[in-house]
């Protein structure tokens, strides 16, 4: 079985899907000749040509808005927003148009687009190349939001997203692009949207995370294992729709839960997870539902001392797990 | 490139041309087509007036419509291929939707927000028309977002080589949004088969054009996108037809997009929730009525001998019957069932 980085897995999947589906196009800033600023689309322009791999102007709203129109007229666009931090000019097109098209037309129109965007901190990207923007979109009915953390999942989830008849936001953590490797089968497998995965079974505390934080949570679980704390780690993989069955099943077993996300703490995605647990697993809880998240400052600061202060890391997660385990 | 001149100048020019511009053969329009254009304009006006009556009678909570815009829409879009080309409408596109085949009954289903309303099943406010069967894109309320959808539809048409043309409409107020710029910029780069029609009625709700933009003509912005910018008098139906036909042919042969500015008048308030006498003078409103396309086109057809032998009266009677039928029929149709309100947030696989 081939071993791939997360980035290689995404790149190969894009190429495979374009070979499989002649209606698929890729469009975004620098996605063509350069192959993307991270080289995620490298080789696509050479293989599929400028009709299907389109270097756009610096116009995020156009990238998404034209994708909506193209989807309505028979194509399957996979637009790229170069950094998730720059998705906001397209917010109106995503939230007012793509998300609402099927509902507002009473199913007469659909919007099969997959919007890819690199996100996340820990890469010296400062305020405007580090953001986690998922919470803005998980709030919106009509959208699906996916965050892969492994090369295997990235391939299977990206296939599901591209083949999905509705708009999907596909957030790829920049720090994982080249730092994580894993086995990726050559088969045409898919990972269904809306299914979380227990990545480490345990008994005392459930840790729920996604993206880079799914890896850090596994490291934290290892840190406390020697202290007799058995941690169950769940990688959500899809944030909307949320796999409530898997998280409720785990928390009802352990009675304690830490939710980890690198976005700002207040109103972040973890708040919804906490609310679900409070409403549906209250009788099983043996301690407060705890969030470990980014501090409430308007962005990840640049200097490495400041960035380290901002970022959630395995030690911070482990500290929260110890406190909760002792509760 | 005709990118200068005020509405009055355009009207004057059109009137001067009229003397030596006979109907029919020189425009490639047959008598029956002229009658059809008139029928569309007059039917739209009658439907529109009925909407306001229904609103004032308390039967529908809201009206937004296009009285004064009908001549431009019918003229500009009459040469489109129905069911093949795409219309990406806005909230004043009643005449455009009828031109592409929507029926008065379907318009009234939207007014009454009935379950079988093809635009939205009663989910959207009236005026948000769409019809998948007729390639009329569903629309939202944020303005100018639809320009990018038309551009994307045209992009797909070019890539798929479907020979389709996409047209979209917006007001001059919406033309100040960023999506307008982003869309025209991209359409210009790729020479997409798209026609962007700005219907300039001089007001963005209450804000006059002089406070919306520093340029006299929205069409002059076309220079920034390397596409033709064409000004037409929206009350001159045949001038609109000619401009539309040229732009459609240009798009169809792969020569790229056109920005058309139709100088129109807004005969009603912005919507049923607006009172335009608060911000428009009596003289301004009276001047606007001088640019009503319906009596002007009617007069032209009379002069040309098209509306003769009692045809005008027969059409008026037919239209009244059609509007009465559409109103009564739509009102009698069932309302949406709240049990369906959670459906179609996402695709639902066939059972």
Domain-embedded: residue A283: yes
| Average pLDDT rounded to a whole number, residues B311-317 | 97
CA distance B57 to B111: 13
CA distance A65 to A167: 12
Say yes or no: B110 contacts chain A, CB-CB below 8 A: no
At B1, the pLDDT band (50, 70, 90 cuts) reads very low
Domain that holds residue A204: 197-325
Q: Please name the residues between 66 and 105 in chain A that touch chain B, using a CB distance below 8 Å.
A: 66-75, 77, 89, 92-93, 96-97, 100-105
Q: Which of A25, A29, A77, A105 to mutate to test the interface with B (most CBs of B within 10 A)?
A: A105
- Of the residues A121, A153, A184, the one at which a domain ends: A184
Say yes or no: B178 contacts chain A, CB-CB below 8 A: yes
Considering the domain architecture, whether residues A99 and A247 belong to the same structural domain is answered as no
CA distance A169 to A136: 11
pLDDT value, residue A62: 98
Judged on CB neighbours under 10 Å (0-12, 13-18, 19+), B107 is: buried
Kindly list the domain boundaries of chain B, sorted by start residue: 7-331
Strands B86-88 vs B166-171: parallel, antiparallel or unpaired: parallel
Q: Which residues of A touch B166 (CB under 8 A)?
A: 69, 73
Closest B-chain CA to A100:
B345
CA distance B99 to B111: 18
Query: According to DSSP H, which parts of chain B are helical?
Result: 7-18, 31-56, 70-77, 94-99, 104-111, 145-160, 178-190, 237-252, 282-289, 293-303, 311-332
Contact A69 B159 (CB under 8 A): no
Considering the domain architecture, whether residues A13 and A150 belong to the same structural domain is answered as yes
Q: Which residues of B touch A144 (CB under 8 A)?
A: 346
Q: Which residues of A touch B170 (CB under 8 A)?
A: none
**What H or E segment, with its residue span, contains residue A324?**
helix A314-325
By three-state DSSP, how is residue A90 classified? helix
Considering the domain architecture, whether residues A162 and A105 belong to the same structural domain is answered as yes
Q: Which residues of A touch B152 (CB under 8 A)?
A: 65-73, 77
Considering the domain architecture, whether residues A239 and A294 belong to the same structural domain is answered as yes
- Of the residues A184, A205, A227, the one at which a domain ends: A184
**What 8-state DSSP symbol labels residue A93?**
I
By three-state DSSP, how is residue A206 classified? strand
Structural domains counted in chain A = 2
Strands A290-294 vs B86-88: parallel, antiparallel or unpaired: unpaired
Q: Please name the residues between 307 and 346 in chain B that touch chain A, using a CB distance below 8 Å.
A: 343-346
Considering the domain architecture, whether residues A8 and A84 belong to the same structural domain is answered as yes
CA distance B130 to A101: 11
Domain-embedded: residue A66: yes
- Nearest-10 Cα torsion for A288, A289, A294, A298: -90
By three-state DSSP, how is residue B156 classified? helix
Q: Which residues of B touch A74 (CB under 8 A)?
A: 156, 160, 162
User: Which residue(s) pair with A257 in the sheet?
Assistant: A206
- Of the residues A160, A184, A208, the one at which a domain ends: A184
Domain-embedded: residue A236: yes
Q: Please name the residues between 228 and 287 in chain B that touch chain A, using a CB distance below 8 Å.
A: none
By three-state DSSP, how is residue A292 classified? strand
Domain-embedded: residue A25: yes
In residues, how long is chain A? 327
Considering the domain architecture, whether residues A154 and A214 belong to the same structural domain is answered as no
Considering the domain architecture, whether residues A137 and A213 belong to the same structural domain is answered as no
- How is residue B121 written in tokens? 């099943």
Distances (CA, A) of B35 to A139, B73, B238: 51, 15, 12
CA distance B16 to chain A (A): 41
CB B157 within 8 A of CB B187: no
Say yes or no: B118 contacts chain A, CB-CB below 8 A: yes
Handedness of CA B267, B273, B276, B277 (dihedral sign): positive
Contact B164 A101 (CB under 8 A): no
Question: Residues near A201 by Cβ (< 8 Å), separated by ≥ 6?
Answer: A232
Q: Which residues of B touch A142 (CB under 8 A)?
A: 345-346
Handedness of CA B111, B113, B117, B118 (dihedral sign): positive
CB A193 within 8 A of CB A238: yes
Say yes or no: B35 contacts chain A, CB-CB below 8 A: no
B346 is known as an active-site residue = no
pLDDT value, residue A107: 98
Q: Which of A25, A28, A62, A81 to mutate to test the interface with B (most CBs of B within 10 A)?
A: A62
**What H or E segment, with its residue span, contains residue B171?**
strand B166-171
CA distance B52 to B222: 36
CATH class, B7-331 region: alpha beta
- Residue A65 has its nearest CB partner, among B131, B152, B159, at B152
CA distance B181 to chain A (A): 9
Say yes or no: A28 contacts chain B, CB-CB below 8 A: no
Closest A-chain CA to B141:
A96
CA distance A209 to A207: 7
Question: Residues near A305 by Cβ (< 8 Å), separated by ≥ 6?
Answer: none
Domain-embedded: residue A229: yes
Question: Residues near B300 by Cβ (< 8 Å), separated by ≥ 6?
Answer: B18, B23, B237, B238
CA distance B296 to chain A (A): 36
Q: Which residues of A touch B344 (CB under 8 A)?
A: 102-103, 106-107
Strands B203-204 vs B207-208: parallel, antiparallel or unpaired: antiparallel
- How is residue A204 written in tokens? 């005392």
CA distance B232 to chain A (A): 27
- Residue A70 has its nearest CB partner, among B88, B155, B344, at B155
Per-residue pLDDT tens digits for B182-224: 999 999 999 999 999 999 999 999 999 999 999 999 999 999 9
Strands (E), chain A: 2-5, 24-28, 53-55, 76-80, 114-119, 144-146, 168-173, 181-184, 197-200, 205-209, 231-235, 238-240, 257-264, 290-294
Question: Residues near B284 by Cβ (< 8 Å), separated by ≥ 6?
Answer: none
CATH of the domain at A36: 3.40.50.970
By three-state DSSP, how is residue B323 classified? helix
- How is residue B89 written in tokens? 């409408």
pLDDT value, residue B23: 60
**Taking Cα atoms as reference points, which of B111, B3, B16, B39 lies closest to residue B294?**
B39
CA distance B231 to B228: 10
By three-state DSSP, how is residue A104 classified? helix
Considering the candidates A129, A173, A204, A215, report the single residue annotated as catalytic: A129
CB B14 within 8 A of CB B239: yes
CA distance B241 to B251: 15
Say yes or no: A163 contacts chain B, CB-CB below 8 A: no
Domain-embedded: residue A159: yes
Considering the domain architecture, whether residues A152 and A301 belong to the same structural domain is answered as no
- CA B148 from chain center: how many Å? 17
Q: Which residues of B touch A52 (CB under 8 A)?
A: 159
Say yes or no: B84 contacts chain A, CB-CB below 8 A: no
CA distance B326 to B108: 6
- Nearest-10 Cα torsion for A169, B165, A106, B173: 80
pLDDT value, residue A1: 83
Considering the domain architecture, whether residues A161 and A19 belong to the same structural domain is answered as yes
CB B194 within 8 A of CB B168: yes
Domain-embedded: residue A79: yes
Per-residue pLDDT tens digits for B104-151: 999 999 999 999 999 999 999 999 999 999 999 999 999 999 999 999
At B55, the pLDDT band (50, 70, 90 cuts) reads very high
Q: For chain B, what percentages of helix, strand and coil (3-state, to nearest 5) are there?
A: 50, 10, 40
Considering the domain architecture, whether residues A61 and A149 belong to the same structural domain is answered as yes
Contact B345 A142 (CB under 8 A): yes
CA distance A71 to chain B (A): 8
CA distance B339 to chain A (A): 14
Contact B152 A68 (CB under 8 A): yes
Average pLDDT along chain A, 327 residues, taken 10 residues at a time: 96 98 98 98 98 98 98 98 98 98 98 98 97 98 98 98 98 98 97 98 98 98 98 98 98 98 98 98 98 98 98 98 97
Considering the domain architecture, whether residues A45 and A139 belong to the same structural domain is answered as yes
CA distance A141 to chain B (A): 7
Strands A76-80 vs A53-55: parallel, antiparallel or unpaired: unpaired
CB A206 within 8 A of CB A257: yes
pLDDT value, residue B16: 42
């Amino acid at each position: 079985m081939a071993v791939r980085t997360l980035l290689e897995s995404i790149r190969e999947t894009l190429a495979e899907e374009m070979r499989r589906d002649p209606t698929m196009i890729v469009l975004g800033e620098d996605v063509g000749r350069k192959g993307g600023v991270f080289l995620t689309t490298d080789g696509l322009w050479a293989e599929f040509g400028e009709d299907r791999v389109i270097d756009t102007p610096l116009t995020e709203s156009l990238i998404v808005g034209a994708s909506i129109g193209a989807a309505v007229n028979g194509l399957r666009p996979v637009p790229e927003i170069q950094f998730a931090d720059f998705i906001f000019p397209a917010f109106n097109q995503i939230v007012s148009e793509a998300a609402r098209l099927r509902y507002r037309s009473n199913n007469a129109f659909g919007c099969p687009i997959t919007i890819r965007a690199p996100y996340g901190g820990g890469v010296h990207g400062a305020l405007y190349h580090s953001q986690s923007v998922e919470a803005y979109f998980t709030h919106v009915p009509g959208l699906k939001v996916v965050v892969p953390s492994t090369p295997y999942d990235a391939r299977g989830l990206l296939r599901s997203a591209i083949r999905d008849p509705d708009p999907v936001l596909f957030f790829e953590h920049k720090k994982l692009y080249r730092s994580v490797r894993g086995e990726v089968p050559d088969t045409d497998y898919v990972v269904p949207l809306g299914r979380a995965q227990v990545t480490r079974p345990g008994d005392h505390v459930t840790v729920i995370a996604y993206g880079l934080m799914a890896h850090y949570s596994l490291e934290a679980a290892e840190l406390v294992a020697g202290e007799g704390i058995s941690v169950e780690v769940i990688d959500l993989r899809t944030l909307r729709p949320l796999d409530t069955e898997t998280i409720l099943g785990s928390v009802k077993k352990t009675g304690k839960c830490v939710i980890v996300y690198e976005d700002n703490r207040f109103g972040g995605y973890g708040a919804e997870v906490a609310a679900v647990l409070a409403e549906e697993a209250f009788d099983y809880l043996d301690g407060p539902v705890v969030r470990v998240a980014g501090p409430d400052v308007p962005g990840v600061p640049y200097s490495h001392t400041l960035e380290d202060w901002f970022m959630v890391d395995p030690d911070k997660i482990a500290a929260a797990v110890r406190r909760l385990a002792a509760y | 490139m005709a990118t200068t001149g005020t509405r009055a100048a355009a009207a004057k020019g059109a009137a001067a041309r009229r003397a030596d511009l006979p109907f029919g053969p020189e425009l490639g329009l047959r008598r029956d087509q002229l009658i059809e254009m008139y029928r569309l304009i007059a039917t739209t006006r009658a439907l529109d007036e009925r909407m306001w009556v229904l609103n004032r009678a308390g039967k529908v909570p809201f009206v937004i419509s296009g009285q004064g815009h009908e001549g431009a829409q019918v003229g500009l879009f009459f040469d489109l291929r129905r069911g093949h080309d795409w219309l990406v409408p806005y909230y004043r596109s009643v005449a455009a939707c009828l031109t592409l085949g929507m029926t008065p009954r379907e318009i009234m289903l939207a007014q009454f927000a009935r379950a079988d309303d093809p635009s939205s099943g009663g989910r959207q406010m009236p005026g948000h028309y769409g019809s998948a069967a007729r390639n009329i894109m569903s629309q939202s309320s944020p303005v100018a977002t639809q320009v990018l959808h038309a551009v994307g539809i045209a992009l797909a048409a070019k890539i798929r080589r479907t020979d389709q043309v996409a047209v979209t409409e917006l007001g001059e107020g919406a033309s100040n949004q960023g999506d307008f710029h982003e869309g025209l910029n991209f359409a210009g780069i790729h020479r997409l088969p798209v026609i962007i029609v700005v219907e300039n009625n001089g007001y963005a709700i209450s804000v006059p054009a002089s406070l919306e933009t520093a340029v006299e003509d929205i069409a002059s912005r076309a220079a920034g996108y390397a596409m033709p910018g064409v000004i037409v008098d929206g009350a001159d139906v045949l001038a609109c037809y000619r401009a539309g036909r040229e732009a459609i042919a240009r798009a169809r042969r792969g020569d790229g997009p056109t920005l058309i500015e139709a100088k129109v008048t807004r005969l009603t308030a912005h919507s049923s929730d607006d009172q335009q006498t608060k911000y428009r003078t009596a003289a301004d409103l009276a001047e606007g009525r001088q640019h009503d396309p319906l009596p002007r086109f009617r007069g032209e057809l009379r002069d040309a001998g098209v509306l003769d032998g009692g045809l005008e009266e027969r059409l008026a009677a037919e239209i009244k019957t059609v509007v009465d039928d559409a109103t009564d029929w739509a009102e009698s149709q069932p309302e949406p069932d709240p049990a369906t309100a959670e459906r179609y947030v996402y695709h639902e696989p066939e059972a």
